[in-house]
Amino acid sequence: MQLIDGKAVAAQIKQEIAAEVAQIIAAGEKRPHLVAVLVGHDGGSETYVANKVRACEEVGFKSTLIRYEQDVTEEELLACVGRLNIDTDVDGFIVQLPLPKHISEDKITEAIDYRKDVDGFHPVNVGRMSLGMPCFLSATPAGIVELLRRYRIDTSGKHCVVLGRSNIVGKPVSMLMIQKGYPGDCTVTVCHSRTTNIREICLTADIIIAALGVPEFLKGDMVKEGAVVIDVGTTRVPSDKTRSGFRLTGDVMFDEVAPKCSWITPVPGGVGPMTIVSLLKNTLLAGKRVIYP
């Protein structure tokens, strides 16, 4: 078994991005600028957004955090999106999800100018991704395929089982894994909460991407020898062993599954750090107007 070290790969890519930002500044051009919009005080969202802002600073981007209280109206949030869409100083922006129940996430996502949608959630970007066209790839799926690429993991003709059908991970990553070319060319099966024989399906998988959000769902007896396992789970479970009072738990029972794998991502330190790096990459592309001139 070999570990896929997302933390190390992410650090390397951050250095590559920082070097590019230094070149941009040296050429007298504008520093890339990412804006994050955060509604309310959900612990997970607070942490994710703080990590995104810190990552921007590390690579030399400008970053701005806009906060709203939980009771912000949909109209106010749409007005904020409208302002960011036309602000020429802003290259890309994200509205952190989930949003309070009284606000339609679909409406907010569709209101974002797809040319600034560095999360890759807008229907235009999702559609272009499905067609294999240049677009902003959503961060977690992009991070997963980048890990496969950097570790030169063979995907052609492999059976890839995706656990989970979320709009943010399951659906888009399954779409990327069937694309023509590397890292793709897989035969993909998507399993979800209504799938009846998940264990049997997983046992036929060469690659398993676990993105259900169910802590330690994937057990040792569900994985064949030599499989590649990518764990996307990041559930916060209470712990008296950490200062924060919780620990991140993946969707994979690591101790049982790891000995059977050829490659496996840990949690934390696997897919998580790559997700933020993908967002930085998209912001850099947005600043350079590479995808949408």
Closer residue to ligand GUN in complex, CB, 107/219: 107
Q: Which residues between 109 and 128 bind ligand GUN (CB under 6 A)?
A: 119
- What the block records as the tokens of 173 is 């990553």
CB of 216 to ligand GUN, least distance (A): 20
Q: Is 70 a catalytic residue?
A: no
Q: How many CA atoms lie within 13 A of 186 on its CB side?
A: 27
Distance CA 52, CA 4 (A): 22
- Do 277 and 52 contact (CB within 8 A), yes or no? no
Among 94, 160, 205, 253, binds ligand GUN (CB under 6 A): 94
**Between the CA of residue 43 and those of 46, 49, 52, 71, 236, what are the distances in Å?**
5, 10, 14, 17, 10
Catalytic residue (one of 52, 116, 158, 171): 52
Check if 52 is active-site. Answer: yes
* Segment lying near ligand GUN (by CB under 6 A), choices 3-11, 91-99, 143-151, 241-249: 91-99
The verdict on whether 119 is a catalytic residue reads yes
Give me the DSSP letters along 4-42: --HHHHHHHHHHHHHHHHHHHHHTTPPPPEEEEEEES--
Nearer to ligand GUN, 272 or 287 (CB): 272
Cβ atoms 215, 180 nearer than 8 A: no
168-227 positions binding ligand GUN, by CB under 6 A: 168
In this structure, what token pair is assigned to residue 172?
């888009």
Q: Please, what's the largest Cα pairwise distance for the chain?
A: 58
Nearer to ligand GUN, 40 or 220 (CB): 40
> Which C-beta is closer to ligand GUN: that of 166 or that of 179?
166
Q: Which of the stretches 76-84, 92-100, 126-134, 170-178 binds ligand GUN when contact is defined by CB under 6 A? A: 92-100
If one asks whether residue 139 binds ligand GUN (CB under 6 A), the answer comes out as yes
Q: Which residues are catalytic?
A: 52, 96, 119
**Which positions touch ligand GUN (CB under 6 A)?**
94-97, 119, 139, 168
